[in-house]
Amino acid sequence: MSELITSRPGASARHHLLATVSALALLTIAATQAKAEGADRPTVWIEGGWHFDSITGSNDVLVPPLDELTARGLSSKPTAANFYGQSAGHLTSFTEMLKAQGRSEGAEGSISFQPQGSDWIFKLGAKYGRSHTERRRNDRKEVDGYPGYVKRFSIFTGITTPHATVFAIQANENKRAHVVVDFEVGKDIGIGLFGGMTESVLSAGIRYAQMNGSSKGHSYASPDVRFYAYGGFSPVFLKYQRVINPDRHTSSTLQNRSNSFHGIGPSVSWSNTTGLVGDVADGQLALDWGANAALLFGRQKAKVDYSTVSNFYHFVGFNRVTTTKQNTVNRTEARRVTVPNLGGFAALSYRFTNAKLSAGYRADFFFGAMDGGLDTHKSVTTGFHGPFAKISVGLGG
């Protein structure tokens, strides 16, 4: 049968003509549909949202002179055989208060424009976040020594239980804030990538980032006491000096510090939307995902002021002696730095032709952005990662 058809004069030409006409018809229909869809597509998208981030990258922590003694608890319980018994309370560590970063929360928004009939997208966006953590503790604990007899000038005056109060009065306030602004020019590299279900935009532009942090606090502590005994020891008679003169440590710590980074540089990003269920016209569930990178050139600053004083009041023979140690640091430093920045996100969205709701998880890391050192400079990588939610509205078309 095929031999009879192909042997007819002009059959091949008619076959090719029919195929050409059919192809042109299909192309015309596709072009008309694409034009109609393009006419319905919004040219402007306005986006707004909220995010909650955990912060990575902590500063070197100031350790007060008696912090270990403050936190470790009872070191030795007074007994009849150890009437010098030293006691310390399970009090709050000042270093734990300094480490409390809290969570950053803030707003974000963007506006993007894609002219009709163009694959180019122009976008301006910004994110702002802040955290504020404030902690105050006034820990006190009553400490009793081992009961014993008291004599004054060889005259028995009764039985007494030595007593003292150990305490740690501490406060600290941490503040963090950051702003990230992006201007991007992207190209829609087409529908049909990765099996026909993914829309993809590759962008390049400029990123500006600003980060600021501050911390201030104080600690006043007298976390231990050692009851001082004098005279001889016997199983029956224990001789104590009055508890108003025990051996004990005291300390005072003050700190006030701040650091910052301001930088700007080139950036690239890649964002994708993969349809999962449904159609955009009637409502579609989709997976959004992407990554970003930047190289920021800027200035890093740090200012650190702190002082510590510790005193040990004790007896040498029958004389009370005070041993004092103190340290003061004042450091102000600024330097030019180059900060690599990497990030990424993944989200689920529900979208229509001119509206979109999305929620997901995002991370952004700035390598070596902050000076987190105490006595000397130390570059610290600062990162923000956590959930976010956004709503987008399309205008024009």
Q: What is the mean pLDDT of residues 264-292?
A: 92
Most confident segment among 48-62, 190-204, 311-325 = 48-62
What lies within 8 Å, CB to CB, of 40 at 6+ separation is 353, 397
pLDDT tens for 200-244 read 899 999 999 999 999 999 989 888 777 765 555 454 444 544 444
Q: Residue 25: what pLDDT?
A: 40
Q: What is the mean pLDDT of residues 248-261?
A: 91
Q: Residue 21: what pLDDT?
A: 37
Half-sphere exposure of 208 (CA within 13 A, CB side): 7
In which band, very low, low, confident or very high, does the pLDDT at 249 lie, cut at 50, 70 and 90? Answer: confident
Percentage of the chain beyond pLDDT 90 is 43
Q: Bigger pLDDT: 248 or 88? A: 248
Q: Which of 373, 369, 50, 379 is CA-nearest to residue 211?
A: 369
* Whether the Cβ atoms of residue 289 and residue 250 lie closer than 8 Å to each other: no
pLDDT tens for 148-172 read 666 555 666 667 777 778 888 889 8
Q: Tell me how far apart the alpha carbons of residues 362 and 288 are, in angstroms, rounded to a whole number.
A: 11
Q: Tell me how far apart the alpha carbons of residues 142 and 87 are, in angstroms, rounded to a whole number.
A: 10
Task: Tell how strand 86-88 and strand 224-226 pair up.
Answer: antiparallel
pLDDT at 356 exceeding the cut of 90: yes
In which band, very low, low, confident or very high, does the pLDDT at 100 lie, cut at 50, 70 and 90? Answer: low
Q: Residue 83: what pLDDT?
A: 47
Q: Tell me how far apart the alpha carbons of residues 193 and 286 are, in angstroms, rounded to a whole number.
A: 15
In which band, very low, low, confident or very high, does the pLDDT at 282 lie, cut at 50, 70 and 90? Answer: confident
Q: Tell me how far apart the alpha carbons of residues 388 and 394 are, in angstroms, rounded to a whole number.
A: 20
Q: What is the mean pLDDT of residues 331-344?
A: 96
Q: Residue 78: what pLDDT?
A: 53
Q: Residue 288: what pLDDT?
A: 94
Q: Which two tokens stand for residue 219?
A: 């600690």
pLDDT at 138 exceeding the cut of 50: yes
* Whether the Cβ atoms of residue 359 and residue 392 lie closer than 8 Å to each other: no
Mean pLDDT of the chain: 79
Q: Is 157 left (phi over 0), alpha (psi -120 to 50) or beta?
A: alpha
Q: Bigger pLDDT: 136 or 7? A: 136
Q: Residue 383: what pLDDT?
A: 93
In which band, very low, low, confident or very high, does the pLDDT at 307 lie, cut at 50, 70 and 90? Answer: very high
Q: Residue 229: what pLDDT?
A: 59
CA torsion, ordered 39, 40, 46, 52, to nearest 10 deg: -130
Q: Which of 368, 362, 364 is CA-nearest to residue 381?
A: 368
Alpha helices in the chain (DSSP H): 2-6, 11-40, 67-72, 94-99, 193-196
Q: Residue 37: what pLDDT?
A: 44
Sign, Cα dihedral of 367, 369, 370, 375? positive
Q: Tell me how far apart the alpha carbons of residues 274 and 194 are, in angstroms, rounded to a whole number.
A: 9
**Per-residue burial over 299-319, b = 16 or more CB atoms within 10 Å of its CB, e = otherwise:** ebbbbbebebbbbbbbeeeee
pLDDT at 270 exceeding the cut of 60: yes
- How is the beta sheet containing 155-160 ordered, strand by strand? 155-160, 148-152, 238-240, 229-233
Q: Which of 132, 83, 88, 87 is CA-nearest to residue 106?
A: 132
Q: Which residues pair with 204 in a beta bridge?
A: 185, 268
Q: Bigger pLDDT: 64 or 333? A: 333
Q: What is the mean pLDDT of residues 16-44?
A: 47
Q: Residue 79: what pLDDT?
A: 52
Q: Which of 120, 341, 147, 328 is CA-nearest to residue 227?
A: 147
* Whether the Cβ atoms of residue 80 and residue 74 lie closer than 8 Å to each other: no
